[in-house]
Structure 1
Amino acid sequence: MIDECLVAEFRIDGDDCPLARATTSVPVTIDASAPQLRADGNVLLHFTAPPDDRLPDVLDEDDTIRYLHVTRTDDAYTYRCLSKHPCVVHELVDVGFLVESMQYSDGGATMRGAVVGNEVLRGVMEKAGQTVGIQLQRVYPLRTDEESTIGRAWELTSAQEESLEVAYEMGYFDLPRTITAEDVATELGISKSAFLERLRRAQHSVYGVLFG
């Protein structure tokens, strides 16, 4: 049994992924589940984004997207589709990277996942170094409370839970507030708008559980 599990975050730029391309045309942040690779090389995608009717139009016009389905609510649009574009993340999956979340914004993607043991991490890092446009953002040991029931209980994504935790630890919710959204975003390594979007979605999930 391997005792050590590591959490790694990578940034992907220049992949020409349809979701990344879409965020260059529509200024939204897309939260995606891990892409599912089919035997024929096509990829099944499931993702959400803030309500914006421009995004479905951009994706529908993309020749690499097929069978696009959109579920619209006042709070978010949920998308399911097939992508004919091979996803670069599978190159890391093939060497042991366990994708847990992906977020697309500003023409690129940030992915977070687990690596079991340093030996696997070395293989993942070597593959990342050979793949154009992938850069390691950070890596740290999986804490004993990393897989707590907090996120599941409140229906939060790992990115949303992390954003709330960092914001709380920095004093963003203190009164009077001395920490700005930009301060928290810098600590997280994301844009201010991406942090505020995560915060809004996390609040919606929490309130949804509280008030049914």
Structure 2
Amino acid sequence: MIAECLVVEFRVTDDDCPLADATREVGTSVDAQPPLLRRDGNALLHFSSPSEAVGEYLDEDDRIRYLHRTAADGRWNYRCLAKEACVVHSLVDVGFLVDSIHLRDGTERFVGAVVGQDVLDQVLAAAGETVGVSLERISSLRAHEDTPVAQRWDVTPRQSEAVEAAFRLGYFSVPREVTARDVADELGISKSAFLERLRRAQATFFGHLFDDG
């Protein structure tokens, strides 16, 4: 049995896939589920964005078919078929278990896992052969990382989303890289709604950290 499992994060630039092009042209973000590759080479995509303009842009992209959109909680959810495989599939083919994909202004971030050093070496070799793919982080997979943040810390999914977006965009950096308004815009909610979710999540986190019981 292979005991070692590693969390790996890649950053992708200069990709010309439809979603990267859409976020680059519209100036917004997209959160995507791992794409499903069909035998014919087409990919099934499921993603969301705070911007309806993403859908409007993709409507004019000949590489996208059957685009379906719905709106909920200030975000747009999309499903469609892309006529070509995504960059991430070159990593998946050699053992990368992709968990999440985030795109912003044309730059992509893949987070996932690899099992064993041999698989990691193959994934890194594949990344080196793909234009614009760079390794950002490797860390050991801890037991709790197989459990969603919301479940681990007893915060709501919306609070978890607010904290994750704030961390990813640099809201907690010193000096701070973005404002509360920037993070709220990323989530498609008001500044006050973002700050309320963030404070409620922080209160829960601190309650766990400093609970004498």
TM-score interval (norm. to shorter):
0.7 to 0.9
**Structure 2 partner of 1:105:** 104
Q: 1:60-71, aligned counterparts within 5 Å? A: 60-71=59-70
TM-score, normalised to structure 1's length?
0.76
* Distance in 2, Cα, partners of 1:139 & 1:6: 7
CA shift for structure 1 position 85: 2.4
Superposition CA RMSD, Å: 3.5
Name the SS for the 1:34 alignment partner.
coil
**Structure 2 partner of 1:175:** none
Gaps of 5+ in 1: 173-177, 185-191, 208-212
- 1:79-137 deviation per Cα after TM superposition (whole angstroms, max 9, x unaligned): 00000122111110010000000011111211100011111101100111111111111
CA gap 1:117/1:150 in 2 versus in 1, 3 angstroms: same
CA shift for structure 1 position 162: 4.6
CA shift for structure 1 position 147: 2.1
Name the SS for the 1:95 alignment partner.
coil
CA gap 1:4/1:55 in 2 versus in 1, 3 angstroms: same
Give the letter aligned to residue 37 of structure 2. Answer: L
* Distance in 2, Cα, partners of 1:203 & 1:121: 37
* Distance in 2, Cα, partners of 1:120 & 1:179: 36
Query: Does the Cα contact within 8 Å between 1:101 and 1:158 map onto a contact in 2?
Result: no
Query: Does the Cα contact within 8 Å between 1:181 and 1:195 map onto a contact in 2?
Result: no
Q: 1:1-212, aligned counterparts within 5 Å? A: 1-50=1-50, 52-152=51-151, 154-155=156-157, 162=164, 172=172, 181-182=176-177, 193=182, 197=186
CA gap 1:81/1:183 in 2 versus in 1, 3 angstroms: closer
- 1:157-178 deviation per Cα after TM superposition (whole angstroms, max 9, x unaligned): 99866556x59xx995xxxxx9
Query: Does the Cα contact within 8 Å between 1:101 and 1:159 map onto a contact in 2?
Result: no
CA gap 1:116/1:198 in 2 versus in 1, 3 angstroms: farther
CA gap 1:18/1:120 in 2 versus in 1, 3 angstroms: same
Q: How many residues align?
A: 191
CA gap 1:103/1:20 in 2 versus in 1, 3 angstroms: same
Give the letter aligned to residue 182 of structure 1. Answer: E
- 1:142-162 deviation per Cα after TM superposition (whole angstroms, max 9, x unaligned): 122212353356336998665
Query: Does the Cα contact within 8 Å between 1:29 and 1:194 map onto a contact in 2?
Result: no
Gaps of 5+ in 2: 199-213
Name the SS for the 2:145 alignment partner.
coil
* Distance in 2, Cα, partners of 1:28 & 1:180: 23
Segments ≥4 residues shifted beyond 4 Å: 156-164, 178-181, 192-196, 198-204
